[in-house]
Amino acid sequence: MSDMFTAIAEKVQAHNPSIVFPEGTDERILEATVRLKAEGILSPILIGDQHEIEAKAEKLKLDVSNLTIYNPETYPGFDQLVEAFVERRKGKNTKEQAETILKTPNYFGTMLVYTGEAAGLVSGAAHSTGDTVRPALQIIKTKQGVKKTSGVFVMVKGDQRYIFGDCAINISPDSNDMAETALEAAKTARVFGIEPKVAMLSFSTKGSAVSPETEKVVEATKIAQENAPELTLDGEFQFDAAFVPSVAAKKAPDSPLKGQANTFIFPSLESGNIGYKLAQRLGNFEAIGPILQGLNQPVNDLSRGCNAEDVYKLSLITAMQGITE
């Protein structure tokens, strides 16, 4: 495990927060949560039928006897969760609807985070991103001043670490969306010990091409700079001008980035998704995430192709967010 995750584990362990896992019978979830509990890093809460979880764990030769398991059907505080949900939804759902909705593991788990039973939630091993994000947006909601959540990846290889976003949520962000993602990504970077140097990416560097697409990035850069003048942030940049000092010296000699960007904001979801997967598959970077940013409390989404190590590391990140935000 990299030094970054070792440091995160040590910080989290001092607080031992509870993290909820709605997919309690998934073998990757079981393997990771047993490990997290055994190492004393955090206290997992598994959602599901206790007998089903125990039977699955027995087949995997895993001991879940010291893990907390909640079944929405038998949870003693279910009525209180229903009342809290109805109040949070402000008339959009009746009590009867809430009773049905909260028997869904992701909604039930999100309510545990909202009510303080858990510090964060990790899901997505067996559910779509929408299944994870929708309850978070309806219940936890975005922070004051943040209009949209966005998804970033921490890209790790050895001592190298970078932030890529938005790679998960907003398909076609406008200038305000891009700027908001950049400012939240800078906060995310700091949580994980990265002093952010933010590049707003495009197929143009400082006016080398002009189109509605490049102008969007130019405007996003201005908005972000106006809202956080102390932040090292610049654009619009082609990736090489943001990342390679010798290219930056030729294409953008006056930029404060100097080809040393470590936080990259993509102009669309397709470019962000392609970009992180190129780095992952061709560059052999580990992609941790997506980390959902801008929410009042941490909820994070696994890839359905994840392994137990991915679950373990995203759980550490979620716990870190929970103790620092």
Considering Cα of 176, then 180, then 181, then 186, what sign does the dihedral take?
positive
The per-residue pLDDT for 303 is 79
**Confidence band of 145 (pLDDT split at 50, 70, 90):** confident
The per-residue pLDDT for 306 is 84
CATH code linked to domain 1-141+296-325? 3.40.50.10950
**Confidence band of 325 (pLDDT split at 50, 70, 90):** low
Beta-strand relationship, 68-70 and 120-123: unpaired
CATH code linked to domain 146-294? 3.40.50.10750
- pTM of the model as a whole: 0.86
Tens digits of residue pLDDT in 257-274: 999 999 999 999 999 999
Tens digits of residue pLDDT in 185-209: 999 998 888 999 999 999 999 999 9
Sketch the domain layout of the chain as residue ranges.
Answer: 1-141+296-325, 146-294
The structure tokens 């050895």 sit at 158
Residue 70 bridge partners (DSSP): 47
The per-residue pLDDT for 5 is 82
The per-residue pLDDT for 8 is 87
- CATH topology identical between 1-141+296-325 and 146-294: yes
Tens digits of residue pLDDT in 28-69: 999 999 999 999 999 999 999 999 999 999 999 999 999 999
**Confidence band of 302 (pLDDT split at 50, 70, 90):** confident
